[in-house]
Every structure is written in C-alpha cells, then in structure tokens.
Amino acid sequence: MVKNESHLDALTLAMLQNKTISFTLPIVYTVVALVSIPGNLFSLWVLCWHIKPKTPSVIFMINLSITDLMLASCFPFQISYHLQSNHWRFGKILCSLVTVMFYSNMYSSILTMTFISMERYMGVVHPLKLSKWRRKRYALAACLAMWFSLLLAFYPLETADLTYEVKELGIITCFDVLKWDMLPTFGAWVAFLLTLFVVLFLIPFVVTVGCYIGIIRKLIQTSSRYGNKQKTRSIYLATIVLLSFITCFAPNNFILLAHMISRLFYSSSLYPAYKLTLCLSCFNNCLDPFIYYFASKEFYQKFMQLFRPMVLLSDSLENRRESLFSGRTMSARSMSSGPMDGGNQMKAFPDGQMSETDFFESGKKKEEKKEENKA
C-alpha cells in the first residue's frame, strides 16, 4: 500500500525485485495447474453424471470442484506476470477480474470445506437430531449465500484500478502495490482486511477444526463396536483432511494478519513471506486427485473403468450409487450414517442420504439406530 503515488519505499521495491518469488511462484502454479485441471475436471464429470442421488455433500463437492477449476484458470496470467518480473501486460480490467477470481475462489474453497465439515459432523455425531438440516435445498442456499457474500466482500477490488506503474523499475504491477485511496479511510482498510482474516478464514477455520475433532472423537468412541479396521481407516482419512486444511490455509492467512498489522501500524512488511505461503493455499487444489486415487475405492474403480474398459469390476453398479469425494471430505463422507443392506438403499435422511458401508457394518448400524429411536 502506498500513500504517495510518485515513490515507493525501499521495502516495496525490494519485494518487487525478489528473485525467490519470481522463480518459485511460476513453478508452483504450473505444477498445480497441470495436476488440478485434469483431476478436477474428471472429478466434476463423475460427480455430475455418475453420482446419484445429489445429496448435500455432492452439491458441496460440485461447488468445490468448480471453485478449484476457476482458481486454476487464473494461473496462466499469474505465471506470465511473475516470469516477467512482476510486470502486468493484460490491462486494468483483466487485472481486476483475475485478482477477484483468484482470491474469491480461494476463500470459497475454505468456506465450502467448512460447510462439508458441518454437514458431516451432523451426519456422524448427531444423525437423528440434526437430520432435518441435511437437505439439498439448504446446501444450494448455502452455496448461493456464500458466493453473494464473497462478491460483496471483494467489492473494493471489483471497482478499483489494481494496477500500479513502478517508474523506478519500469514495470506495471497487479495487486502487489495497492493505493491508499482505493478505500476512503484508514478504518475502512482495517475493516476490509479484518473481514478477510476473521470472517473468511478464522471463523471457518475454527468451525472446520472443531467439526473434524468431534468426528474423530465419535469414531474413537464407536471403534469397539465396529472393529479396529474401520476405526483406523476412518480416523486416518479424517486426520488427512484436517491436516490438509490446516497446512494449506493456516500459514498464509496468519502471515496475512501479521503483514497487515506490520504494514498499517509499523510501516514494515512481510509480503514476500505472504506470497510464498500463498503457494500452500494453491497447492491444496492439486491434493484432491491423489487422495481420490489412494483413499477411495470407488474412485479407483471408476478410474479403471475409464482407462481400462476391459477390466470388469464385480461391484461397479453399486459403486455408481456411492458418493465420491475428495480427500478434504472423503473421511467425513465415509462416516455418515444410514444403513444399506445389500443393494437396496434405505433413506436415513429426508434427502435420501446414502450409507457408507466402508466404515460401518450395516446390520450393527441398524441395531444402533433402533436403540436410539427407542430412547
């Protein structure tokens, strides 16, 4: 952020000439794009055309796949920008469009994963008490409300000129140097940055971590009934989801808070560290396909059917009816209640939520539900 449009301070000039950023970010963005785009296209194809019924979790996962693809579509512009030493050649309008798409979709990933964790928590910890909230219309409403809130939160970026000509270096930056007059007052800057950190990250972060801890605790409590194999696999996957969320999103957002405080109150900067930790947030985009393959039997079989059509899988018809989720939600999805006996689906929830036979034996789950209903 600059108050005087004629001169930049030494910290900002040093940041713009930082070779580590110019070298690291294009490599990371390229790797993420090469993995994320085909992986999420494939998962979106499976979720939209091969998964029935469209439960709340499926709706959230479709939204998450679209979000990942939209974020990945920004990478070519970012790669070109950093390879040319932070010089933007695509004009003011495209700078604003790419910036809003990049950050709104990044925070959309966080919020969508929070919705998924809440939906899974209700299905695992309170399957009967909160089942009325697990409906498709609520999932659709949550997605629409989320996107409206994001567009509202990023309104200052949508209406401002985010480019800045650095005469000392002969370059035009995009969103790396912000003008103080982009917002009317100092208080408006504080409110804008705190909204990014508190509303779009900290609150969803606390809710997501709390939900997965609750899910893991519930699984440990029920492990004696369903055996060590089910417990180990479900807790293992839940832990992967939780660690992935923390590792990818926490460093970048906490450094953003530190940078915000340093810049607004002490005229210092942590922007290079912020840009580098941004790689972790983007790297989250390409984790899904790997966890699909290694953690999901259904995804593996669908993959084999697509690329090895001569391979016959005995339970392929059943697997078409199972919901498919990424590593961010596979553990929670696999913990949902709702028994399935053989090939006949039973509706445990109003929207027809399907069971997860990978983790709970259907017969025992039926008995447990009967006991809960009696109670």
* 24 vs 222, higher pLDDT: 24
Distance CA 65, CA 14 (A): 37
Q: Give the E-state strand segments of the chain in sequence order.
A: 163-166, 171-174, 340-341, 344-345
Compute and round to an integer the Cα radius of gyration of the chain: 23
Residues 216-225: tens digit of each pLDDT: 888 887 766 5
Contact 96, 157 (CB under 8 A): yes
pLDDT at residue 346 in the model: 36
* CB within 8 Å of 264: residues ≥ 6 apart: 186, 189, 190, 193
Contact 154, 192 (CB under 8 A): no
Distance CA 291, CA 293 (A): 5
Q: Which two tokens stand for residue 165?
A: 């000509």
Residues 26-60: tens digit of each pLDDT: 999 999 999 999 888 988 888 888 777 788 888 88
Distance CA 331, CA 91 (A): 43
Assess whether pLDDT exceeds 50 at residue 77: yes
pLDDT at residue 225 in the model: 58
Contact 292, 39 (CB under 8 A): yes
Beta bridge partners of 179: 2
Contact 330, 241 (CB under 8 A): yes
Of 197, 297, 214, 210, nearest to 257 by C-alpha is: 197
Task: Give the three-state DSSP class for 259.
Answer: helix
Write the DSSP string, 280-342: HHHHGGGHHHHHHHHH-HHHHHHHHHHH-TT---TTHHHHHTS----TTTHHHHTT----EET
Assess whether pLDDT exceeds 60 at residue 321: no
Query: By CB neighbour count within 10 A (0-12 exposed, 13-18 middle, 19+ buried), where does 70 fall?
Result: middle
The DSSP symbol for 125 reads: T
pLDDT at residue 356 in the model: 38
Arithmetic mean of pLDDT over the chain: 77
Residues 145-204: tens digit of each pLDDT: 999 999 999 998 988 899 998 888 889 999 988 888 888 888 888 888 888 999 999 999
The DSSP symbol for 349 reads: S
Where is average pLDDT lowest: 93-97, 257-261, 345-349?
345-349
Q: Which domains does the chain have, with CATH numbers?
A: 10-329 (1.20.1070.10)
